[in-house]
Homo-oligomer: A and B are copies of this chain.
């Protein structure tokens, strides 16, 4: 938040794109939303921000692999139940596969899924729009 922004307790404030990108980079788990034949679905993933896209991994048999090129969204948030405040960032765009040469050169900079299992398919959400909201303690 820039110092020129005003806010009011309990009010929602829009978050600037710059701050959205910083908040996106502060988390390791987010949620990919996409539509399959049964409508919208949401998938928690481990991710990194790379080249202004949201990079994550999945298995070659994962459902989302059948919807490449399709519209998708990605959400991260940080609610605080005690103060009843927090922020959320929403990325809207499309999902596409990532070629190996477009991955971060440093393997440690690539997304590291918590669950075991083969997740050899690298995907990314390419943003068309990045927005965020923050609600301050009442």
A42 interfacial contact with B, CB 8 Å: yes
Complex Cα spacing A39 to B125, Å: 13
A28 interfacial contact with B, CB 8 Å: yes
Q: Knowing A35-B40, A41-B73, A71-B40 touch, does A116 contact B138 (C-beta < 8 A)? A: yes
In the bound complex, do residue A75 and residue B138 qualify as a contact, i.e. CB atoms below 8 Å apart?
Answer: no
A29 interfacial contact with B, CB 8 Å: yes
State the majority secondary structure of interface residues on A. Answer: strand
Complex Cα spacing A5 to B54, Å: 34
Chain B's closest residue to A42 (CB) is: B75
In the bound complex, do residue B29 and residue A33 qualify as a contact, i.e. CB atoms below 8 Å apart?
Answer: no
| A window 1-33: CB within 8 A of B | 8-12, 28-29, 31, 33
In the bound complex, do residue A35 and residue B39 qualify as a contact, i.e. CB atoms below 8 Å apart?
Answer: yes
In the bound complex, do residue A39 and residue B114 qualify as a contact, i.e. CB atoms below 8 Å apart?
Answer: no
Complex Cα spacing A138 to B72, Å: 30
Further contacts, 9 of them, CB under 8 A, given A12-B117, A42-B42, A114-B138: A9-B116, A11-B115, A28-B81, A39-B71, A40-B71, A40-B72, A40-B92, A44-B88, A84-B114
Interface residues of A (CB under 8 A from B): 8-12, 28-29, 31, 33-35, 38-42, 44, 70-75, 77, 79, 81, 84-86, 88, 90, 92, 94, 114-117, 128, 135, 138
